[in-house]
């Protein structure tokens, strides 16, 4: 299906309720995943540095209107959190913050990256979008990967859920993906928040965006994520929930259209789903995750709400055992930091 | 066809000597099947495939060598009598390949380096121009350089001139199991290069490996096909046998296929009978 990604095709596929269609799709996806990735699954862990946020995104537990305790880890706390994660064997770290240019400016991120360099071989950031120059500075300091989700590609919907703050600026976020590539980053993770906009339309736009990036910046290794929106505090944001069958089809379809692209699946999904979806497309799993700021070591009892609830609570070693029993090789390190210039 | 007369292929070996030595940078090998170590479902499969095939050169991505984890470190699964060929997987340009090679040598993994410069994450096609640049630098620094390339005669010549120990053209897209799709271009390299030509990517079946060897390739490197096989060790062995068969066929100068039938007994022989 060369360059032609059709919205109609995506819609038809997602609407098709025939189990046989899903099975066929999964089998094709499994063959491609096996061909391009073998039986390997990369592991990473998220580490929340801060939950300060200056944007008001109606669906997010960290948004600026939420009356939650705001915490920002100090260098000492970052050190202790990272040590705890590194002790589990994790080598790829995903550093996250809320989107606050004031609370977690570039200088703060650089300090965190510097500490991460002592513990991990792969450093990825999931923070507010920024200018090329700042991305490049991060790259020079050892960041090889950036995760940034557009959330939804539907402008109207985007405006209706991102009510204030820098995140309100759709175009600044959209064009950031290209700035990340221009800054020299090796890996870029893109994604949409399933349930925020029309799923088929968002998928279509995401695929188009990725295809465009692949052509413009072929050296970058891309991966995709499909976090499913969950309700927070009883508020209703979803335009429609994505069930497991649809979710599985989305993973498989992505694999068919992009055989070499990584697909991430976080612990917000259940062990059962994660253990099955590595067969048909998923190539990267987070493991042993804690999604509260300071949740690994600093605060025994998380004194703030996590950004989302974890479904897969298994420890890293337990996930490793499961992967091995399912004939997968867990990959901890897939990059060795060479000095970026 | 390659001019066989220029190759020293004794009909019978002197006792204790290899009749058909496979030389890379002066080092002699007896097995012409090289193995890659990516995509395996576990590392035991890697060591079993090495043992079953009798391969003497194994390539490992430096990026995948996990120094922290000793129990599951890939290097633990590669016997010490096998030549470790570290590769620069992940390098996007010459500069990164050079850095990775130096890191590998500093880490004690020897000075054999397979240069992979890939600037295209979709097709994983090697960047020939950057590969030449990296080869020039690394050969100068004393590395034994085995560059992975798209088969291109001018590039291969430049690599040979730069001091490459071999050239490793792909047969088809890496991991595709499609065999030698660029046969004519690989054949040109085999004819023109003085250094060994090792077919590197796309070999998906022993028959394809055999074909490469029959064409006159010095060796074949396989990874995906073995790594993703139901029984990797058994397939590795099959590859190794196919490579041997192909080599023997090549050395025996097989007749070329013809379009027309030809009688086994000459029709005009009677004219010359005494």
The helix/strand/coil state of A43 is strand
**DSSP symbol at A228:** B
For A38, the enclosing helix (H) or strand (E) is: none
**Tokens standing for residue B218:** 């010095």
Chain A residues whose CB is inside 8 A of the B63 CB are: 333-336
Query: Which of A89, A186, A334 is facing B64, going by the closest CB pair?
Result: A334
pLDDT at A275: 94
Whether A40 sits inside 8 A of B119 (CB atoms) is no
pLDDT at A84: 95
Q: Which of A278-287, A331-340, B195-204, B221-230 is least confident?
A: A331-340
Whether B122 sits inside 8 A of A218 (CB atoms) is yes
B83: pLDDT strictly greater than 90? yes
pLDDT at B13: 54
Query: Which of B69, B92, B121 is facing A222, going by the closest CB pair?
Result: B121
pLDDT at A334: 77
- Cα B37 from Cα B47, distance rounded (Å): 9
Query: Which of B40, B62, B69 is facing A336, going by the closest CB pair?
Result: B62
Whether A38 sits inside 8 A of B95 (CB atoms) is no
- Cα A108 from Cα A97, distance rounded (Å): 11
Chain A residues whose CB is inside 8 A of the B176 CB are: 35
pLDDT band at B73 (very low <50, low <70, confident <90, very high): confident
pLDDT at B3: 46
In tens, the pLDDT along B158-192 reads 999 999 999 999 999 888 889 999 999 999 999 99
Q: Tell which wins on pLDDT, A320 or B259.
A: A320
Residue B102 contacts A, CB cutoff 8 Å:
no
- Give the closest residue to A287 by CA, choosing from A334, A325, A252, A322: A322
For residue A131, how many other CB atoms are within 10 A of its CB? 13
- Cα A49 from Cα B173, distance rounded (Å): 42
pLDDT at A237: 57
pLDDT at B29: 95
For A45, the enclosing helix (H) or strand (E) is: strand A40-50
Determine the residue among A329, A335, A340 to mutate to test chain B binding: the one whose Cβ has the most chain B Cβ atoms within 10 Å. A329
- Cα B160 from Cα B152, distance rounded (Å): 12
Inter-chain contacts counted by CB atoms under 8 A, chains A and B: 79
Determine the residue among B39, B49, B119 to mutate to test chain A binding: the one whose Cβ has the most chain A Cβ atoms within 10 Å. B39
Q: Which entry of B17, B114, B122, B133 is annotated as an active-site residue?
A: B114
Chain B residues whose CB is inside 8 A of the A222 CB are: 121
A219: closest CA of chain B, how far (Å)? 4
Whether B121 sits inside 8 A of A333 (CB atoms) is no
Whether B224 sits inside 8 A of A338 (CB atoms) is no
User: Average per-residue pLDDT in chain B?
Assistant: 89
Catalytic residue flag (residue B114): yes
Query: Which of B64, B92, B95 is facing A333, going by the closest CB pair?
Result: B64
- Give the closest residue to B53 by CA, choosing from B19, B17, B29: B29
In tens, the pLDDT along B26-52 reads 999 999 999 999 889 988 999 999 999
**Tokens standing for residue B214:** 């029959």
- Cα B30 from Cα B21, distance rounded (Å): 6
For A188, the enclosing helix (H) or strand (E) is: strand A187-191
The helix/strand/coil state of A243 is coil
pLDDT at B18: 73
Q: What is the pTM of this model?
A: 0.86
Three-class SS of chain B = CCCHHHCCCCCCCCCCCCCCCEEECCEEECCCEEEECCCCCCHHHHHHHHHHHCCCEEEEEHHHCCCCCCCCCHHHHCCCCCEEEEECCCCCCHHHHHHHHHHHHHCCCCCEEEECCECCCCCCCECHHHHHHHHHHHHHCCCEEEEEECCCHHHHHHHHHHCCCCEEECCCCCCCCCCCCCHHHHHHHHHHCCCCEEECCCCCCHHHHHHHHHHCCCEEEECHHHHCCCCHHHHHHHHHHHHHHHHHHHHCCCCCCCCCCCCCCCCCHHHHCC
Instruction: Work out the average pLDDT over B202-209.
Output: 96
Give the gyration radius of chain B's Cα atoms: 20
* A44, A68, B37, B101 from B61: Cα distances, Å: 19, 46, 8, 10
pLDDT at B4: 46
Query: Which of A40, A219, A260 is facing B92, going by the closest CB pair?
Result: A219
Residues on chain A bordering chain B, Cβ-to-Cβ distance under 8 angstroms: 34-40, 89, 91, 186, 214, 218-222, 260, 324, 327-329, 331-336, 338-339, 341
Please report the residues numbered 2 through 31 in chain B whose beta carbons come closer than 8 angstroms to any beta carbon of chain A: none
- Give the closest residue to A94 by CA, choosing from A72, A108, A80, A109: A109
Query: Which of B39, B121, B224 is facing A221, going by the closest CB pair?
Result: B121
Determine the residue among B97, B121, B129, B201 to mutate to test chain A binding: the one whose Cβ has the most chain A Cβ atoms within 10 Å. B121
Digitized pLDDT (tens) for each residue of chain A, 341 residues in all: 445 789 999 999 999 989 999 999 999 999 999 989 989 999 999 999 998 888 888 888 788 887 888 899 999 999 999 999 999 999 999 999 999 899 999 999 999 999 999 999 999 999 999 999 999 999 999 999 999 999 999 999 999 988 888 889 999 999 999 999 999 999 999 999 998 999 999 999 999 999 999 999 999 999 999 999 875 554 555 556 789 999 999 999 999 999 999 999 999 999 999 999 999 999 999 999 988 888 898 886 555 566 667 899 999 999 999 999 999 999 988 777 777 77
Instruction: Work out the average pLDDT over B117-138.
Output: 95
Chain B residues whose CB is inside 8 A of the A224 CB are: none
With CA atoms as reference, the chain B residue closest to A42 would be B64
B233: pLDDT strictly greater than 50? yes
Chain B residues whose CB is inside 8 A of the A214 CB are: 121-122
Return the bridge partners of A284, or none. A42, A264
Whether B121 sits inside 8 A of A260 (CB atoms) is yes
């Amino acid at each position: 299906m060369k360059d032609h990604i059709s919205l109609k095709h995506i819609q038809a596929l997602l609407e098709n309720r025939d189990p046989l269609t899903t099975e066929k799709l999964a089998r094709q996806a499994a063959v491609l995943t096996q061909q391009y990735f073998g039986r390997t699954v990369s592991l990473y862990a998220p580490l929340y540095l801060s939950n300060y946020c200056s944007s008001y995104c109606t669906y997010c537990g960290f948004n600026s209107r939420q009356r939650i305790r705001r915490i920002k880890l100090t260098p000492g706390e970052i050190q202790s959190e990272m040590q705890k994660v590194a002790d589990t064997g994790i080598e790829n770290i995903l550093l996250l913050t809320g989107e606050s240019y004031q609370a977690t400016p570039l200088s703060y991120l650089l300090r965190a990256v510097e500490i991460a360099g002592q513990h991990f071989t792969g450093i990825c950031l999931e923070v507010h979008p920024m200018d090329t120059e700042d991305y490049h500075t991060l790259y020079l300091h050892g960041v090889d990967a950036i995760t940034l989700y557009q959330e939804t590609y539907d402008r109207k919907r985007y405006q209706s859920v991102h009510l204030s703050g820098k995140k309100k600026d759709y175009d600044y976020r959209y064009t950031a993906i290209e700035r990340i590539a221009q800054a020299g980053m090796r890996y870029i993770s893109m994604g949409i928040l399933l349930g925020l906009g029309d799923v088929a339309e968002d998928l279509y736009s995401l695929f188009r965006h990725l295809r465009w990036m692949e052509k413009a910046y072929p050296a970058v290794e891309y991966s995709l994520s499909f976090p499913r929106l969950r309700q927070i505090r009883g508020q209703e944001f979803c335009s429609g929930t994505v069930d497991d069958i649809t979710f599985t089809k989305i993973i498989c379809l992505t694999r068919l259209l992009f055989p070499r692209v990584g697909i991430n699946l976080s612990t917000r999904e259940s062990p059962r789903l994660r253990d099955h979806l590595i067969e048909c497309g998923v190539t990267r799993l987070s493991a042993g995750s804690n999604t509260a700021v300071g949740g690994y070591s600093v605060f025994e009892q998380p004194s703030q709400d996590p950004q989302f609830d974890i479904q897969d609570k298994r420890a890293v070693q337990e996930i490793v055992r499961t992967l091995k029993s399912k004939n997968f090789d867990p990959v901890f390190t897939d990059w060795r930091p060479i000095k970026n210039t | 066809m390659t001019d066989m007369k220029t190759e020293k292929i004794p009909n019978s070996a002197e006792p204790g000597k290899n009749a058909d030595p496979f030389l890379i940078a002066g080092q002699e090998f007896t097995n012409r099947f090289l193995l890659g170590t990516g995509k395996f479902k576990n590392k035991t499969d890697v060591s079993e495939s090495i043992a079953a095939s009798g391969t003497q050169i194994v390539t490992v991505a430096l990026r995948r060598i996990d120094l922290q984890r000793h129990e599951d470190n890939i290097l633990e699964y590669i016997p010490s009598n096998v030549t470790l060929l570290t590769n620069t997987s992940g390098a996007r340009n010459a500069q990164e390949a050079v850095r990775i090679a130096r890191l590998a040598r500093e880490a004690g993994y020897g000075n054999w380096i397979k240069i992979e410069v890939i600037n295209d994450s979709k097709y994983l096609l090697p960047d020939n121009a950057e590969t030449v640049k990296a080869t020039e630098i690394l050969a100068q620094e004393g590395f034994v350089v085995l560059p992975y390339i798209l088969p291109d005669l001018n590039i291969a010549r430049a690599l040979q001139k730069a001091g490459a120990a071999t050239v490793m053209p792909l047969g088809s897209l890496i991991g595709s199991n499609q065999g030698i799709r660029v046969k004519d271009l690989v054949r040109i390299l085999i004819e023109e290069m003085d250094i060994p030509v090792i077919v590197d990517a796309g070999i998906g079946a022993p028959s394809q490996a055999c074909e490469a060897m029959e064409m006159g390739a010095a060796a074949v490197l396989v990874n995906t096909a073995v790594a993703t096989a139901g029984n990797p060790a058994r397939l590795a062995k099959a590859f190794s046998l196919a490579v041997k068969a192909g080599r023997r066929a090549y050395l025996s100068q097989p007749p070329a296929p013809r379009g027309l039938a030809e009688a086994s007994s000459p029709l005009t022989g009677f004219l010359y009978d005494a």
